[in-house]
């Protein structure tokens, strides 16, 4: 990365606003978000049309009368040409209309509105817990076990993190229920009411990502601790705490952040399984039912919400990355 931006190389010359690093970065990132959003919306639209056969017939069952099917088709606008349907879909989406659930006849937006908070809460809590475990743990293990010191600590960490990282969240959830709810009676088995009911679902979601992330943090931290600029920091005789926290950690975490974004995304998806283990009243427990019942408007809406959530997370991570490591604002897409 030896590039010296033209703007910086010539001191004193005023630069146009569109040449500003941050403006260009924001424009590029926004464009990417919009493209991804369009892919998501289009995919959600075509999902229903990709279902083999007639989705309405599939939803209403083989015994439904032909005129009922025809009426429902008409009501859903499935008689129109595909492009017209696509246009209507986009238009309704822009005005926040997601249609009505076939099963309950309630507006999809209302169902999602009721269930989204529970899911978001679960995912964000789990992410916070995963980061709070992974970053200090990985960094500490790296600092303690460099150059083959404390071999046993390293082995114990490596072994347990591999195993915990490989346990799928719903299996872990079942295991946690068995140990802490069935055997020890410390925590409730399921539901979402008292704060104690949050512990197991959050842990079930967080432990796997925490194990994987802490390994990454460790590797990154080890690499950063060997860099020339860390030697410079030591040459300044800063305190060990400052060397590790101010000089090493931000650089170790930047590389980790990209991955943690992916992990948070998969954590959002993981809520589907964990919610089903703990009967958590979120989107995850409703989407399964709506897939089996072929409640397509509800599925479409839920998929959109999950997808948008993931896109927003990725964007936030990129922005955080740019703030932590300004070099990431340069470069081509």
Q: Which residues 221-260 are close enough to bind another protein by CB under 8 A?
A: 225-240, 242, 246-247, 250-251, 254
Taking the least distance from each CB to another protein, the nearer of 35 and 68 is 35
Q: How far is the CB of 303 from another protein (least distance, A)?
A: 6
Taking the least distance from each CB to another protein, the nearer of 91 and 234 is 234
Does residue number 95 form part of the binding site for another protein (CB under 8 A)? no
Sign of CA dihedral 281, 282, 288, 291: positive
Which 134-163 residues touch another protein, going by CB under 8 A? 143, 146-149, 162-163
CA–CA distance, 143 with 234 (Å, rounded to integer): 14
Instruction: Assess contact for 146 and 225: CB atoms under 8 A.
Output: yes
Task: Determine which residue in the list 125, 262, 319, 320 makes contact with another protein, applying CB under 8 A.
Answer: 262
- Interacting residues of 116 by C-beta distance below 8 A, sequence separation 6+: 282, 283, 305
Q: How far is the CB of 67 from another protein (least distance, A)?
A: 25
Cα angle for residues 304, 269, 286 (degrees, 5° grid): 65
Task: Determine which residue in the list 200, 287, 321, 322 makes contact with another protein, applying CB under 8 A.
Answer: 287
Taking the least distance from each CB to another protein, the nearer of 88 and 146 is 146
- Interacting residues of 90 by C-beta distance below 8 A, sequence separation 6+: 41
Name the percent of the chain in helix, strand, coil, to the closest 5. 75, 0, 20
| Token duo for residue 84 | 């017209």
Closest CA relative to residue 290, chosen from 51, 104, 62:
104
Does residue number 209 form part of the binding site for another protein (CB under 8 A)? no
Q: How far is the CB of 266 from another protein (least distance, A)?
A: 4
CA–CA distance, 243 with 305 (Å, rounded to integer): 42
Task: Determine which residue in the list 12, 61, 62, 195 makes contact with another protein, applying CB under 8 A.
Answer: 12
Instruction: Assess contact for 107 and 100: CB atoms under 8 A.
Output: yes
Taking the least distance from each CB to another protein, the nearer of 26 and 262 is 262
| Token duo for residue 119 | 């899911």
Q: Which stretch binds another protein (CB under 8 A): 97-105, 107-115, 116-124, 262-270?
A: 262-270
Q: Which stretch binds another protein (CB under 8 A): 77-85, 121-129, 213-221, 283-291?
A: 283-291
Q: Which stretch binds another protein (CB under 8 A): 88-96, 109-117, 125-133, 310-318?
A: 310-318
């Amino acid at each position: 990365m030896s590039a010296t931006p033209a703007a910086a190389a010539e001191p004193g010359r005023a630069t146009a606003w569109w040449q500003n690093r941050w403006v260009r970065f924001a424009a590029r990132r926004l464009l990417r978000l919009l493209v991804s959003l369009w892919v998501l919306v289009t995919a959600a639209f075509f999902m229903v049309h990709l279902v083999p056969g007639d989705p309405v017939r599939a939803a209403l069952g083989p015994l439904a009368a032909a005129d009922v099917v025809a009426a429902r088709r008409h009501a859903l606008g499935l008689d129109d040409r595909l492009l017209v349907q696509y246009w209507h879909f986009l238009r309704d989406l822009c005005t926040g209309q997601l249609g009505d659930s076939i099963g309950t006849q309630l507006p999809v937006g209302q169902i999602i509105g009721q269930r989204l908070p529970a899911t978001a809460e679960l995912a964000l809590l789990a992410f916070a817990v995963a980061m709070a475990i992974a970053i200090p743990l990985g960094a500490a293990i790296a600092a303690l076990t460099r150059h083959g010191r404390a071999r046993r600590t390293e082995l114990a960490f490596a072994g347990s993190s591999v195993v915990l990282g490989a346990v799928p969240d719903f299996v872990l959830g079942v295991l946690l229920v068995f140990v802490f709810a069935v055997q020890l009676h410390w925590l409730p088995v399921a539901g979402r009411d008292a704060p104690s009911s949050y512990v197991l679902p959050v842990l079930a979601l967080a432990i796997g990502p925490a194990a994987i992330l802490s390994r990454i943090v460790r590797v990154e931290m080890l690499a950063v601790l060997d860099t020339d600029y860390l030697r410079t920091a030591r040459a300044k005789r800063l305190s060990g705490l400052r060397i590790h926290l101010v000089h090493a950690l931000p650089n170790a975490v930047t590389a980790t952040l990209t991955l943690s974004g992916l992990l948070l995304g998969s954590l959002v998806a993981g809520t589907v399984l964990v919610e089903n283990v703990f009967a958590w009243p979120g989107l995850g427990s409703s989407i399964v039912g709506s897939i089996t019942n072929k409640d397509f408007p509800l599925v479409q809406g839920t998929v959109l919400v999950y997808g948008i959530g993931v896109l927003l997370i990725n964007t936030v991570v990129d922005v955080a990355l740019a703030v932590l490591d300004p070099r990431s604002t340069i470069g081509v897409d």
